[in-house]
Amino acid sequence: MKLLLKIWRQQNASSKGKFVDYPISGIEGDMSFLEMLDVLNQQLIDKGEEPVVFDHDCREGICGTCSLQINGEPHGPDRLITTCQLHMRMFKDGDTIVIEPFRAKAFPVIKDLMVDRSAFDRIQQAGGYISVNTSGNTVDANTIPIEKTKADDAFNAAACIGCGACVAACKNASAMLFTSAKVSQFALLPQGRVEATQRVLSMVRQMDLEGFGNCTNTGACEVECPKGISLENIARMNREYLMASVKG
Amino acid sequence: MGILDSKVPSGPLADKWTKHKNEINLVNPANKRNIDIIVVGTGLAGGAAAATLAELGYNVKTFCYQDSPRRAHSIAAQGGINAAKNYQGDGDSPYRLFYDTVKGGDYRSREANVYRLAEESVNIIDQCVAQGVPFAREYGGMLDNRSFGGVLVSRTFYAKGQTGQQLLLGAYSAMNRQINRGKIQAFNRHEMLDIVLVDGKARGIIARDMVTGEIERHGAHAVVLATGGYGNVFYLSTNAMGSNVTAAWRAHRRGAFFANPCFTQIHPTCIPVSGDHQSKLTLMSESLRNDGRIWVPRRLEDAKAIREGKLKPTQLKEEDRDYYLERRYPAFGNLVPRDVASRAAKERCDAGFGVNKTGEAVYLDFSAAIQRYGKEKALTSGLKDPDGETITRLGEEVVEAKYGNLFQMYEKIVDENPYKTPMMIYPAVHYTMGGLWVDYNLQTTIPGCYCAGEANFSDHGANRLGASALMQGLADGYFVLPYTIGDYLSKDIRTGKIATDTEAFDKAEADVRGRLQQLLNARGDKSVDYFHKKLGKIMWDKCGMSRNAEGLKEAIEEIAALRKEFYANVRIPGGMDEMNTELEKAFRVADFLELGELFAKDGLHRKESCGGHFREEYQTEDGEALRDDKNFKYVASWEYKGEPKDAVLHKEDLVFENIELKTRSYK
Amino acid sequence: MSGFAKSSIARKVVMALSGLFLVIFLALHVTINFTSVLSPDTFNAWSHFMGYNLLVQYLMQPILVAGVVVHFVMGIALEIQNRQARSIRYARYNGGANAPWVSRNMIITGLVVLAFLGLHMYDFWAHEMVYKYLEANPEDPTRYYGETVEKFHPIWRTGLYVVAFVLLALHLWHGFASSFQTMGINNKYSAAIRSFTRLYAIVVPLLFIIVALYHHFNPITH
């Protein structure tokens, strides 16, 4: 396969970036998208140029490190996968591929395609936990039975990998899907109910402070989410927030 | 031998840990506020330790190379976590978990550590449920279990195929709580490049801010290394791209002994290599072996026809298939431990029965499970005389509910539907049992330097059982290290803040700068990956699933030569005072190039086969591992002396008072 | 509650509630309008009631105006905030791949409807103000039908009304169901809400269009 890559290059956070064209050939369908970028980087290094910087780590779709806006979609055209699981067989010989960093004011570019997603960490730190000591002196795990459907819903919300595709896909760069997934996980479990009121208020406050946009229910986040996190979580968070505001 | 005091408490096995906890010194809460601890690595062990230490009142600084603690590679663990809860009432107990783990590790682990691990395993599940970890449940609301290899009970707790993720997010949330309280300062996108010793004690680290390139000094009263395993020395492994040995290796160079480096786990069920472009390998959870049957064609000509694409696996009749694990190990069948399953796959493929283009793959087949589940489901749904199609559909639904995400992952990578045609799998490097030597308190041979999780050597002997890595990481982090480190720190309450403007820090920083500069100065014409791939090939060919003296000797020489070439000829674009991903990689590969040599040296010296270490010279007539308890019932712990080949061996004799040493048999 | 008022979710709820209020108002409006097609007398009676009932004039009308103002002021404010949340735009943004056009362009459909509202106010409300207060004409319960039909005489106005109602349909298509999601309702009834939204978004604007076209093609012959 021969391709033309249009890649965003930016030296550091303060410099101005631009698109650079890279023609590339010899790409096979069995390669992952990141392996294709590895090939490009190897060529750049061989020419003595700086390789394209992009975030990646586990390369099996679970760590949430990889990002990239590929032809206008986070994690590219395939569904329910991350960029590292995107395979080149999704593209055709002769295609032009535009590769940009995830764009959001709350996700400033660090270098090239790498962005700073620490805003997500701060949202979690604001209340994305259950305040239980880790000393091990808790009750037996089976003391509180949990309805299977609720446990499954909590798991499905907890499957979020914090990659930021929801923000990248949203026309408003809203972080509602991310925040609501964590709020939902705990709201659904009896252990998490105890602090539910304060948790949702704190996490939403932090989310707003970070400069994400507002949710306008377009549903783009749900479609692009590599883990299929449902919009129901956003509704749940809205509900939790309204109830919490009335109470607290 | 004097140096290697394991500090295992005396007394009966079951009482050792309780007794030890009662007897060690504690630090009072007011004093904890004056003590700083550095935790490097934020996976299950590091994250859990950081959270608990901060909760106890210590000031904690965490370091991780990822952009967030939540991304540590513990997150990729799929199948589950063991705990001797005996919720299934199938006769499980801490003793049985202890026994299975020691036996699974081929009697090369320390009894007291493993028993403590089994004891604490029950607390982990309680703890995690309290933290909101959404484990799988049954309809009655109770926790569900599944089985893993090498055991006869069902004790594995799980959260679909994402158990590691859920446990790590639990530890991360506990960390977040402490970050919010100001008790943890998290340094993300920071890499530890050296440990600093003051008067022989670990007193801080030198770290590099990976965004700005700045070299930073951090002082503390103790340093905890929880930096994971070194599987990436093989280049291709199931580890994350960034997983590395640097922190452990830097500590080794400063005096921490490195134990059993050759004990590496090759996981039997990974997606086979597809070509030269391959950057990493993907694991298919061991839990798949609950339902999948492993086979190759019985006849060589069928295998050949399949490789050439002239025959499809589904066309092969039952009697033409060789379910070699069921044949060789009737008692455990497809659920034999990982080392056994991996070697058996290699044996079949080496004999010419491999089923993909490269001849390095075997089948993992779910058709029997689909039929079995389909019939069961049809019965419970009240369907009388269902047709074959209905049974298949129902069966596929059940299999999807259990393993859906793994099947999807497989299909995305291989572009074949595993519900319709058997999966192709092959062993790949997955976990390293070896690591920094630690005593019962998890302290390395450097006072004040502790090591937890995969980075230490302690609990899994020569082979780790499935779903035990998560258990060890969390037990070390939540329940062991926070206690034992207090004993050491109780002597440090009057020390005061550790200053970083001292000679020791000056020197350590200068060393780091020198090393970075040396790498940049090479200005050669080969990329870092070029060397890493070459190292990986040597390791896989000569220190892989089976080893022999000749190959290991060659490996030692080839790695030393490669290291020399690396320093002369590596090319790293960009500079030091900026983000430089190639420089980061080069620093890591430089350490792998030293570790690899020690790995081979350790493998060469261990003239026996045990667990993941299979020496071709030492096997039984039917190809099983031949252990030598008379001469090798010890931990091989290596002291750094300049070059890896000069490392000095220290032995920790393993004492088995509670388990009789037997030939491991799964037949 | 001070944090609440500033929060993104609260602002969205204000959009949802004011939007739902306007949805209900539209139902009332279209019902009265449609009587003009069926019976000029009924239309006159209703119009006169709405124009001179004190409760309608001094309580409901201000609430309606407030609802409209809140809805568009907040809508524009949120849009500005949303644009700021992505200061550097994508060079390539394939929004169509993951979200329908209507949901992504509420600001466009909304602004067109708002502009139309200007014309609509000029046509009817301003006219009423002049008639009732400036010129201080006496009450005439029979004038409404004739005046309405007269308005739809010029083809340009009828055309503008039709276009505006199509845009209103698009706005409702997303907005109606979306307001339930914002208020936290996403459950087994959501599919029904979705279907009702679609029905509503088609029927109500269509009735408005029918009224406009009917009067355009059926002028009163003097």
Strands B362-365 and B293-297: antiparallel
- Report the mean per-residue pLDDT for chain B: 96
Has B338 been annotated as catalytic? yes
C-alpha–C-alpha distance, residues A37 and A97, integer Å: 12
- Asked: is A3-111 a CATH 3.10.20.30 domain? The reply is yes
Option in C8, C84, C104 nearest A218 (CB)? C104
Of C82 and A135, the structure prediction assigns the larger pLDDT to C82
DSSP summary character for residue B105: T
C-alpha–C-alpha distance, residues B76 and C32, integer Å: 63
Please answer yes or no on whether A211 and C84 come within 8 Å at the CB atom: yes
Please answer yes or no on whether B132 and A145 come within 8 Å at the CB atom: no
Q: What's the pLDDT score for residue C1?
A: 47
User: What are the strands of the beta sheet with A69-70, ordered from one edge?
Assistant: A18-24, A3-9, A96-100, A69-70, A73-74
> How do residues C109-132 score in pLDDT, each as one tens digit?
999 999 999 999 999 999 999 999
C-alpha–C-alpha distance, residues B416 and B424, integer Å: 10
Q: What's the pLDDT score for residue B488?
A: 98
**Please, do chains B and C touch (3+ CB pairs < 8 Å)?**
no
C-alpha–C-alpha distance, residues C145 and C44, integer Å: 6
Query: Sorting pLDDT into bands at 50, 70 and 90, what band is B287?
Result: confident
> How do residues B578-626 score in pLDDT, each as one tens digit?
999 999 999 999 999 999 999 999 999 999 999 999 999 999 998 899 9
> How do residues C31-71 score in pLDDT, each as one tens digit?
999 999 999 999 999 999 999 999 999 999 999 999 999 99
Fold of C7-85+102-217: 3 helical TM bundles of succinate and fumarate reductases (1.20.1300)
Q: What percent of chain B has pLDDT over 90?
A: 93
* Cβ atoms of B49 and B477 closer than 8 Å: yes
Please answer yes or no on whether A139 and B130 come within 8 Å at the CB atom: yes
Q: What's the pLDDT score for residue B3?
A: 65
Mutation target among B21, B53, B68, B528 for the A interface, most CBs of A within 10 A: B68
Q: Where are the alpha helices (DSSP H) in B440-527?
A: 469-474, 481-489, 503-521
List the catalytic residue out of B293, B307, B338, B627. Answer: B338
Q: Is B148 a residue whose pLDDT tops 90?
A: no
Chain B positions touching A124 (Cβ under 8 A) are: 70, 172-173, 176
Q: What's the pLDDT score for residue B632?
A: 97
Interface A-C, measured as beta-carbon pairs within 8 A, has a size of 140
Query: Sorting pLDDT into bands at 50, 70 and 90, what band is B149?
Result: confident
Q: How far is CA B320 from CA B297, B299, B315, B343, C206, in A?
A: 6, 7, 10, 22, 69
Q: Is A113 a residue whose pLDDT tops 60?
A: yes
The neighbouring-strand residues paired with B222 are: B37
Q: Is residue A208 less than 8 Å (CB to CB) from chain B?
A: no
Q: Is B2 a residue whose pLDDT tops 70?
A: no
> Chains with 3 or more CB pairs closer than 8 angstroms to B?
A
> How do residues B342-397 score in pLDDT, each as one tens digit?
999 999 999 999 999 999 999 999 999 999 999 999 999 898 889 999 999 999 99
Q: What's the pLDDT score for residue C2?
A: 57
Q: What's the pLDDT score for residue B280?
A: 94
Average pLDDT on A48-74 reads 97
C-alpha–C-alpha distance, residues C23 and C21, integer Å: 5
Segment among B36-40, B173-177, C81-85, C132-136 with least mean pLDDT:
C132-136
Task: Parse chain A into domains and list their residue ranges.
Answer: 3-111, 118-247
Q: How far is CA B432 from CA A137, B198, B278, in A?
A: 31, 30, 21
Q: Which CATH number fits domain A118-247: 1.10.150.120, 3.30.420.40, 1.10.1060.10, 3.40.50.2300?
A: 1.10.1060.10
C-alpha–C-alpha distance, residues C48 and C56, integer Å: 11
Q: Is B629 a residue whose pLDDT tops 50?
A: yes
Burial class (CB in 10 A: 0-12, 13-18, 19+), A127: buried
CB within 8 Å of chain A, chain B residues 520-549:
525, 527, 529
Q: What's the pLDDT score for residue B512?
A: 98
Q: Which domains does chain B show, CATH number per domain? A: 269-428 (no CATH), 502-629 (1.20.58.100)
Average pLDDT on B195-213 reads 98
Q: Is residue A146 less than 8 Å (CB to CB) from chain B?
A: yes
| Chain A CA closest to residue C178 | A217
The neighbouring-strand residues paired with B547 are: B615
Chain A positions touching C100 (Cβ under 8 A) are: 218
Q: What's the pLDDT score for residue B635?
A: 97
Please answer yes or no on whether A118 and B188 come within 8 Å at the CB atom: yes
Average pLDDT on B245-260 reads 98
Option in A57, A62, A78 nearest B162 (CB)? A62
How many CB atoms within 10 Å of residue A105?
Answer: 17
Chain B positions touching A40 (Cβ under 8 A) are: none
| Chain A CA closest to residue B415 | A30
Q: Is residue C219 less than 8 Å (CB to CB) from chain A?
A: no
Please answer yes or no on whether A213 and C3 come within 8 Å at the CB atom: no
Q: Is residue A39 less than 8 Å (CB to CB) from chain B?
A: yes
Torsion of CA B222, B228, B232, B237, to 10 degrees: 180
The answer to whether the predicted template modeling score (pTM) of the entire model surpasses 0.90 is yes
Q: What percent of chain C has pLDDT over 70?
A: 99
> Chains with 3 or more CB pairs closer than 8 angstroms to C?
A
DSSP summary character for residue B492: G
Q: Is B466 a residue whose pLDDT tops 70?
A: yes
> How do residues B159-176 score in pLDDT, each as one tens digit?
988 999 999 999 999 999
Mutation target among B280, B474, B576 for the A interface, most CBs of A within 10 A: B280
Option in A69, A104, A219 nearest C103 (CB)? A219
Q: What's the pLDDT score for residue C222?
A: 63
Please answer yes or no on whether A141 and B278 come within 8 Å at the CB atom: no
Write down the residue that tokens 């005096």 correspond to.
Answer: B255
Q: Is B456 a residue whose pLDDT tops 70?
A: yes
The neighbouring-strand residues paired with B635 are: B652
Chain A positions touching B578 (Cβ under 8 A) are: 11-12
Chain A positions touching C99 (Cβ under 8 A) are: 171, 218-220, 223
DSSP codes of every residue in B418-443: TTTS-EEEEEEEEEE--EE---TTSB
Residue A148 tokens, joined: 């299977």
C-alpha–C-alpha distance, residues A217 and A235, integer Å: 10
Q: What's the pLDDT score for residue B1?
A: 44
Q: Is A135 a residue whose pLDDT tops 90?
A: no
Residue B589 tokens, joined: 């590969």
